[in-house]
Chain A
Amino acid sequence: MATIRVQAEDFDAAAEAAALTRGRADIGAVVTFVGLCRDEGGRLAQLEIEHYPGMAEQELARVAQEAETRWPLLGATIVHRFGAIAPGAQIVLVVTASAHRGAAFAAADFLMDYLKTRAPFWKRAHRRGGGVEDWVEAKSSDSEAAARWRAGD
């Protein structure tokens, strides 16, 4: 059963990873992925992330469940932030734990690919100097990244 949180506050990746392994010795591998707010060319004042409350949590849980059916996970945590995010700040956390690294790496990769195309979050860039940029456009590379997990199904 994965831990899913959607929150405005920042998160502590190390503490989340430690919480997955605390008190157990059957986990041989933990993969922690943190997605950051990237500023291209020093023009970004902040990102604004909108989400669909209720569905965002539900969809992240569905994606985690899907990962659990594909790999022998011993724990998984997804935290996704919303609201104003400063350049360089953390946006999303995926932690996967398994007996061996192969499953932990693959599941973390899968979770990121899937949540990008399924979880209801939308980013908008605010420029330095007060301008609001348009909403960030979905990339076809993200759909293709998600689709590779379906190949051969």
Chain B
Amino acid sequence: MKAVYFAWVRERIGKAEEEIAPPADVATVGELIAWLSARGDEYAHAFEKARIIRAAIDRTHVKHDAKIAGAREIAFFPPMTGG
């Protein structure tokens, strides 16, 4: 699946998007955040306040307990500041 990152999540990780292949036991958005956080310091930094990170699956907002099975694109970003 494709992971996409925005704003300071993107800057901390150092890339806007990438293909990821989490193991089968990573079932939810929250578990995916934990799995990504273990990939390196830049990910750990981006997700250090995991609770405030927002996620979207295929461009729809989801909570951290959402299942990721079947997702094509998972986005991670800070709370939104538009308007």
Contact = CB atoms under 8 A, between A and B. Distances in A.
Contact of A92 (B8, B59, B79, B83): B83
Contacts of B77: 52, 120, 122
B83 A122 contact: no
Interface residues of A, number: 30
A118 B81 contact: no
Interface residues of B, number: 16
A1 interface: no
A101 interface: no
A123 B81 contact: yes
A51 B61 CA distance: 14
A118 to B, nearest CB: 7
19 contacts: A35-B83, A49-B82, A51-B82, A52-B6, A52-B77, A54-B59, A80-B83, A118-B61, A120-B80, A122-B80, A122-B81, A123-B81, A124-B7, A135-B8, A135-B78, A137-B79, A137-B81, A138-B78, A142-B83
